[in-house]
Amino acid sequence: MSDEDYPPISDYAYIGDCHSAALISRAGSIDWCCMPRVDSGSCFGRLLGWRQGGYCQIAPSTPYRVSRRYVDRTLILETTFHTEAGQARLLDCFTMRQGGEHAPHWQILRIVEGITGEVPISVDVVPRFDYGSIQPWIRRIDDNRYLALGGSDGLLISGDLPVAMKHRHDLGGRCTLKAGQRLHLSILWRRPEDLEDGRAQGPALHELDGRFEETVEWWHVWTGRCTYEGPYAEHVRHSATVLKALTHAPTGAIAAAPTTSLPEGPGGIRNWDYRFSWVRDSSFAASALADLGYVKEADGYRRFVERSTAGEAEQLQVLYGVGGERRLPELEIDNLEGYRGAKPVHLGNAAEHQMQLDVFGETLDLAWRWHCRGHSPDDDYWEFLVEVVNRTCEYWRKPDRGIWEMRGAPRHFVQSKVMCWAALDRGIRLATDLERDGPLERWHRTRAEIRSAVEQQGYDSRRGVFVQAFDHPVADASLLLLPTVDFVAYDDERMVRTAEAIRRELGEGGFLRRYPSGDDDLPGEDGAFLACSFWLVNCLARQGRSAEAREWFERTLSAGNDLLLFSEEYDPATRQMLGNFPQALTHLSLITAAIALTPNTPIRR
């Protein structure tokens, strides 16, 4: 299948319900959907296999142009089709309920409305379960309800949008939509055994509009809690909704992205599964949400980490499944050709086995921020934190894979060492503030040793800048994070020079790369890493260089699509999005940068 058959990543919108996720193209096609969890097998997946993956499309059957937006302060997509004969509006969402976030509907609701004239509408429902490997058995219940069953998945497809059996595996239909007319399509996930033997009732037709209105209200209540009121309120609020939708409600975990294997470089092999919860990224996300007033979500993630490690520091790992799973073996799916031919398609992520020392610092910093919001760890939680700090004392001298999860030889990454320093620093602060027992003499000594090592081996005294790793004096954008844990002040001359070196050596077309091209052991190229540009904005703004920071911020915003959604990476030359989408790290970094650009923004640590 040619590249032209695959829309650019920027063509997609995202909807979610704190459990499941879907991507919808400008053509009104659900090309990626995983239910009941964000990391479940896809039921619509032609994003990664145009012929095999399956899709659900509602669109005019005559030529049209498209305008789209999210319904104000929600994650409900509104796509308007403009044809010569008239206009029609398509509304897409996962339904939500007040007070029922933990008991989901697992329901996609699609509503198509006639606005003007008469618009011929075509409908295709082509489910393919388990990443396109299962063609489901579709059974008709009555004129308005169908079952799609296969493996461990089942869909109840209902509503008044006319569809009929095309053959055993697909549904389709056509109609002419008149002005003022409103038709519905509900796609409800259930286990197959819960759909058999006449138990598949599903929502009554008259309930669907009510579920839509309840979803609007749910999002309005949630977004109404946002405390940011600065000039970038629209971007900040929308990025917060993306992070909220990526939260797994039952556990508090935050997925890094709702997709797998969208390539970091065109046609390349840098294709990873990001539908899991990284301690680092999720800690950043929890901090960003707390800064906006969403302390419940921040605390939910803190408790997720404690639970997932079973309270044992030695069981702390880099990432977990959104349910707390620890085994996430990296597999390749052969039956999907990959987005625009980029193979392999991966499930799972081998980074689960990596040593990334910054996880210690993220865990303690999360606890410190929670303490600063007025909470005190109980005895069990304190015991866990003491074990994490002690483990840091034992491991900080080891090389690791770093924040970028290098798959080559481990290095002594400076950012990793600084986060080890942060683990000691936060441990000491907590013990002092709470008057808790701990081996403080050892912690003080180790904290000083780490600082000395970084300042001697992680600093190029000739150029006056921090470097990526001991004995590897190249620039690395992760160094922009050093002031965030108070290792060095933003306006310290060393940090000012480091930021300048990063901008000079890693800048590409007005954006930042993570590290110099070719500095890892993987073939092929990746793009500019959008979070890094937002990190630079944060750094410049807090150095008092507001004009430069705002210029970088506005340029980085231009890498988003028309719906204010951002991918992981970006190609400045082709202006194409790269990598998994939408990316939590990019959106949370946008929030942090916007706050830095907005003086006197209320911050809730």
Q: Could you give the CA distance from residue 478 to residue 403 in angstroms, rounded to a whole number?
A: 7
* pLDDT for res 168: 85
Q: Could you give the CA distance from residue 77 to residue 94 in angstroms, rounded to a whole number?
A: 10
* Residue 41 near residue 153, CB atoms below 8 Å: yes
* pLDDT for res 277: 95
Q: How far from 364 is each of 330, 360, 422, CA to CA, in Å?
A: 29, 6, 8
Torsion angle of the four alpha carbons 102, 325, 304, 323, in this order, in degrees rounded to the nearest 10:
-10
pLDDT greater than 80 at residue 527: yes
Banded model confidence at residue 99, pLDDT cuts 50, 70, 90: low
Mean of all residue pLDDT scores within the chain: 93
Banded model confidence at residue 161, pLDDT cuts 50, 70, 90: very high
* pLDDT for res 198: 62
Domains of the chain: 3-195 (2.70.98.50)
Length in residues, the chain = 605
The lowest-confidence range among 289-303, 512-526, 541-555, 573-587 is: 512-526
Say what percent of the chain tops pLDDT 70.
96
Task: Identify the residue with better confidence: 100 or 427.
Answer: 427
Q: Could you give the CA distance from residue 192 to residue 149 in angstroms, rounded to a whole number?
A: 6
State pLDDT tens for residues 546-594.
999 999 999 999 999 999 999 999 999 999 999 999 999 999 999 999 9
State pLDDT tens for residues 52-66.
999 999 999 999 999
What is the 8-class DSSP label of residue 115? E
User: To which residue do tokens 């000395």 refer?
Assistant: 452
pLDDT greater than 80 at residue 311: no
Provide mean pLDDT across the span 234-260. Answer: 96
First to last CA, the chain: 50
Q: Could you give the CA distance from residue 316 to residue 215 in angstroms, rounded to a whole number?
A: 36
* pLDDT for res 523: 65
Q: Could you give the CA distance from residue 530 to residue 221 in angstroms, rounded to a whole number?
A: 30
- CB neighbourhood size of 547 (10 A): 9
* pLDDT for res 604: 47
pLDDT greater than 60 at residue 176: yes
State pLDDT tens for residues 323-355.
999 999 999 999 999 999 999 999 999 888 888
> What global pTM score does this model have?
0.95
Relative to beta strand 55-60, strand 107-126 is: antiparallel
On the 0-12 / 13-18 / 19+ scale of CB atoms within 10 A, 61 is middle
**Which residue(s) pair with 278 in the sheet?**
319
The lowest-confidence range among 44-48, 347-351, 458-462, 473-477 is: 347-351
Relative to beta strand 21-24, strand 465-466 is: unpaired
E-state strands within 308-449: 319-320, 331-333, 345-347
* pLDDT for res 205: 86
**Which residue(s) pair with 335 in the sheet?**
none
pLDDT greater than 80 at residue 473: yes
Banded model confidence at residue 4, pLDDT cuts 50, 70, 90: low
pLDDT greater than 80 at residue 197: no
Structure tokens at 241: 């909704």
Residue among 159, 92, 103, 156 nearest 127 (CA): 156
* pLDDT for res 376: 85
Residues near 65 by beta carbon (within 8 Å), at least 6 away in sequence: 81, 82
State pLDDT tens for residues 115-124.
999 999 999 9
**Which residue(s) pair with 121 in the sheet?**
60, 175
State pLDDT tens for residues 394-420.
999 999 999 998 877 899 999 999 999
Start-end of H helices in 78-150: 129-132
